[in-house]
């Protein structure tokens, strides 16, 4: 029947609706992203013109923003260093060690951590975590003070970069653990059995089959966590006692603030070119996040042929 | 080394469910023993008890005795991990580690026991194992490519190379050719025949021609019905099973009257 007549494939309504709506959704993302970038750019532009006047709050836009860029990346990276091993451990425990019912309960509990608003984390950070950690900080400073990270005058309040990093680590932990857990659960049973049949112990099996298979997922989870930590505002604004310096010291009361927290703290009392400058720092945060995501894509694609996805 | 395996009144359970009942047989060294029978008759379950791989499923357990050259591999002080290092296994579908290169795949089992290994030793072992699996010529110029870049039949031979690299006593093959084309199947069959020079080879197969082509001994398993345990019906020389079996069920099965 078809042969001669049907030179063109029949277009079905369902296919058409689906493909158009999918395209529309994809396009919408790009438009939103472009609109945000455009808004930031236009609003920030006055701050970067030579005649900009910041009312003595800043001299030079780049000098102003440098400590915040540093603080943002530094705090987030430490949070990531703390959270990644924990997230992998939790994910491994849930996916490969705990019995099923207990694993499910634990999974729910970890997911619940993600539902707590960040302002609550901030308050908890100041009221509970900072006083709790402070004796440890004193100890670290006394005994390991020769390491530049722990040098300087220890903060009396505990509202330090390290406390912020711990709070951020706890905040990004649930999403990372959940994502990594899903990836670990997808490890093909065939590969696990291949390792076990070679005489691997459970841990060796995890090292041979589960972790390498989950590597792209772990990297994705790290980037997602990092993205969240970079942009986290409330918790940092509440916990950190900020300064405008670049310092690696983790335990002092002069800490480099983060971009997002600085915007939150400064914006209510800002105006004119200084407000533009704050928006400009937001634009920079936007780029940092983008570059990090691109870098993650690159790392994952570099070993794509060894990923097991083929 | 090639070991003789004694199964004595072996029952295999999954929880309360008796999957294989009362198996008594002796698997000879330096020979190929084929397990045949309809689906669900317990032959895959039984082969997995030979290296304690069935224990991967929670609740799976064994009663009776299973001895390798006289040593009970289910004795209380025997670590299943140790058992699996002596008994290599090849699975139904090729499963090289996708994140490892061809060479790393071959060495993966060996590295579990021996962390330190000079590069020349590693190269030598890789070559020996791949030659043993009749794969060397095809892959010698791309040992650093991922194992998953090979064809299905080559991947299966890579898995065999991985298994023999650790120089086990026994090689188990659980339907090793069911996912392969006829030419790759022939390559694996030839290889199995070569392997029996050095190892005890046990193969589960759905393909009766395969069993009659390559095996020395054949065990026929059957079940009375769904939910019933699988039983060893007849175990004898392969020619006898395929030409003049002593049980009616065996004859019906090998002549294609059922299954």
Q: How big is the CA angle at A52 (ends A47 and A54), to the nearest 5 degrees? A: 85
Of A52-61, A213-222, B100-109, B245-254, the least confident = A52-61
**DSSP assignment of A120-149, as one string?**
HHHHHIIIIIHHHHHHHHHHHHHHHTTSGG
| Position with higher pLDDT, A67 vs A310 | A67
Per-residue pLDDT of A190-213, as tens digits, reads 999 999 999 999 999 999 999 999
With an 8 Å Cβ cutoff, are A199 and B85 in contact? yes
Nearest to B95 among A190, A215, A310 (CB): A190
Rounded Cα gap, residues A97 and A99, in angstroms: 7
CATH of the domain at A213: 1.10.3720.10
Rounded Cα gap, residues A304 and B221, in angstroms: 44
What's the pLDDT at A5? 54
In degrees rounded to 5, what are phi and psi of residue B200?
Answer: -80, 125
Residue A22 domain-assigned (yes or no): no
DSSP B101: B
Chain B environment of A201 (Cβ under 8 Å): 81
Interface test with B, best of A99, A197, A219, A300 (most B CBs within 10 A): A197
Mean pLDDT of chain A: 88
pLDDT above 90: residue A29: yes
Average pLDDT over residues A256-270: 90
Residue A6 banded pLDDT, cuts 50, 70, 90: low
CB of B45 closer than 8 Å to CB of B54: yes
Average pLDDT over residues B20-33: 94
pLDDT above 60: residue A3: no
Q: How many Cα neighbours within 13 Å face the side chain of B176?
A: 32
Strands B87-90 and B230-237: unpaired
Chain B environment of A198 (Cβ under 8 Å): 84-85, 88, 108-109, 112, 162-163, 166
Per-residue pLDDT of B157-194, as tens digits, reads 999 999 999 889 999 999 999 888 898 899 999 999 99
Residue A54 domain-assigned (yes or no): no
Residue A38 domain-assigned (yes or no): no
The answer to whether B178 faces chain A, any CB pair under 8 Å, is no
Q: How many Cα neighbours within 13 Å face the side chain of B30?
A: 3
For residue B184, give Cα distances in angstroms to A146, B92, B117, B156, B202: 64, 14, 32, 9, 19
What structural domains and CATH numbers belong to chain B? 5-254 (3.40.50.300)
Q: How big is the CA angle at B179 (ends B221 and B166), to the nearest 5 degrees? A: 80
Spatial CB neighbours of B140, under 8 Å, sequence gap ≥ 6: B127, B130
For residue A131, give Cα distances in angstroms to A45, A239, A308, B212: 42, 11, 47, 77
What's the pLDDT at A78? 95
Element at B5 (helix H, strand E): strand B5-14
Q: How big is the CA angle at A142 (ends A136 and A143), to the nearest 5 degrees? A: 90
Residue B19 banded pLDDT, cuts 50, 70, 90: very high
Per-residue pLDDT of B212-235, as tens digits, reads 999 999 999 999 888 889 999 999
Per-residue pLDDT of A117-153, as tens digits, reads 989 999 999 999 999 999 999 899 888 888 888 888 8
Chain A environment of B97 (Cβ under 8 Å): 191, 194-195, 208-209, 212
Contacts of range A51-56, beta carbons closer than 8 Å, 24 or more positions apart: A52/A273, A52/A276, A52/A277, A53/A272, A53/A273, A54/A273, A54/A274, A54/A277, A55/A272, A55/A274
Residue A10 domain-assigned (yes or no): no
Spatial CB neighbours of B82, under 8 Å, sequence gap ≥ 6: A199
Count how many domains chain A has.
Answer: 1
For residue A66, give Cα distances in angstroms to A59, A176, B181: 12, 29, 63
Residue A8 domain-assigned (yes or no): no
- pTM, entire model: 0.83
Rounded Cα gap, residues B12 and B44, in angstroms: 11
CB of B111 closer than 8 Å to CB of A208: no
Residue A23 banded pLDDT, cuts 50, 70, 90: very high
Sheet holding B71-72, edge to edge: B71-72, B60-68, B5-14, B17-27, B230-237, B217-223, B32-36, B200-204, B170-174, B87-90
What's the pLDDT at A310? 47
What is the domain extent for residue A219? 65-303
What number of H helices and E strands is found in chain A? 12, 2
Q: How distant is the Cα of B246 from the closest Cα of chain A, in angstroms?
A: 36
* Other residues' Cβ atoms within 10 Å of the Cβ of residue B79: 12
Percent of chain B exceeding pLDDT 70 equals: 99
Token pair, residue A274, equals 């200084």
Spatial CB neighbours of B207, under 8 Å, sequence gap ≥ 6: B177, B178
| β-bridge partners, B201 | B32, B171
């Amino acid at each position: 029947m078809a042969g001669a007549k049907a030179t063109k494939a029949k277009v079905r309504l369902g296919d058409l609706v689906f493909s158009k709506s999918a395209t529309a959704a994809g396009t919408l993302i790009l438009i939103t992203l472009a609109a945000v970038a455009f808004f930031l750019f236009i609003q920030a532009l006055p701050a970067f013109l030579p005649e900009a006047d910041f009312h003595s709050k800043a001299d030079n836009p780049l000098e102003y923003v440098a400590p915040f860029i540093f603080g943002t990346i530094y705090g987030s990276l430490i949070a990531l260093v703390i959270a990644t091993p924990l997230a992998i451990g939790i994910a491994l425990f849930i996916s490969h060690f705990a019995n099923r019912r207990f694993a499910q309960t634990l999974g729910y509990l970890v997911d619940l951590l993600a539902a707590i608003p960040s302002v609550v984390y901030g308050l908890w950070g100041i009221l509970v975590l900072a006083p709790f950690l402070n004796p440890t900080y004193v100890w670290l400073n006394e005994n390991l003070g020769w390491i530049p990270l722990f040098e300087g005058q220890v903060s009396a309040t505990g509202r330090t970069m390290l406390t912020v990093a711990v709070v951020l680590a706890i905040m990004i932990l649930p999403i990372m653990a959940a994502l990594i857990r899903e990836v670990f659960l997808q490890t093909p049973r065939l590969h696990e059995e291949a390792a076990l049949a070679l005489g691997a112990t459970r841990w060796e099996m995890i090292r041979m089959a589960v972790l390498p298979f989950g590597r792209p997922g772990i990297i994705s989870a790290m980037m997602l966590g990092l993205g969240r930590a970079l942009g986290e505002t409330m918790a940092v604004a509440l916990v950190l006692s900020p300064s405008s310096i670049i310092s690696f010291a983790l335990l002092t009361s002069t800490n480099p603030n983060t971009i997002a927290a600085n915007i939150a703290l400064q914006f209510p009392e800002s105006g004119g070119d200084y407000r533009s400058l704050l928006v400009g720092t937001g634009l920079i945060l936007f780029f940092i996040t983008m570059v990090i995501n691109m870098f993650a894509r690159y790392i994952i694609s570099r070993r794509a042929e060894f990923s097991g996805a083929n | 080394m090639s070991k003789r395996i004694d199964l004595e009144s072996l029952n295999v359970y999954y929880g309360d469910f008796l999957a294989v009942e009362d198996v008594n047989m002796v698997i000879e060294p330096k020979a190929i023993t084929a397990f045949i029978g309809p689906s669900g008759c317990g032959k895959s379950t039984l082969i997995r008890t030979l290296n304690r791989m069935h224990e991967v499923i929670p609740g799976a357990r064994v009663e009776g005795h299973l001895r390798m050259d006289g040593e009970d591999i289910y004795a209380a002080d025997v670590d299943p991990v140790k058992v699996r290092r002596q008994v290599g296994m090849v699975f139904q579908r090729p499963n090289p580690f996708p994140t490892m290169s061809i060479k790393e795949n071959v060495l993966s089992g060996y590295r579990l026991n021996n962390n330190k290994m000079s590069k020349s030793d590693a190269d030598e072992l890789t070559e020996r194992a791949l030659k043993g699996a009749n794969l060397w010529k095809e892959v010698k110029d791309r040992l650093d490519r991922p194992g998953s870049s090979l064809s299905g039949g080559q991947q299966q031979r890579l898995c065999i190379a991985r298994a023999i690299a650790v120089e086990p006593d026994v090689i188990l093959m659980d339907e090793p050719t069911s996912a392969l084309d006829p030419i790759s199947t022939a390559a694996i069959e030839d290889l199995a025949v070569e392997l029996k020079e050095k190892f005890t080879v046990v193969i589960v197969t759905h393909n009766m021609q395969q069993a009659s082509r390559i095996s020395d001994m054949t065990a026929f398993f059957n079940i009375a019905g769904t939910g019933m345990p699988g039983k060893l019906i007849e175990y004898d020389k392969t020619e006898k099973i395929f030409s003049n079996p002593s049980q009616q069920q065996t004859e019906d099965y090998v002549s294609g009257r059922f299954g």
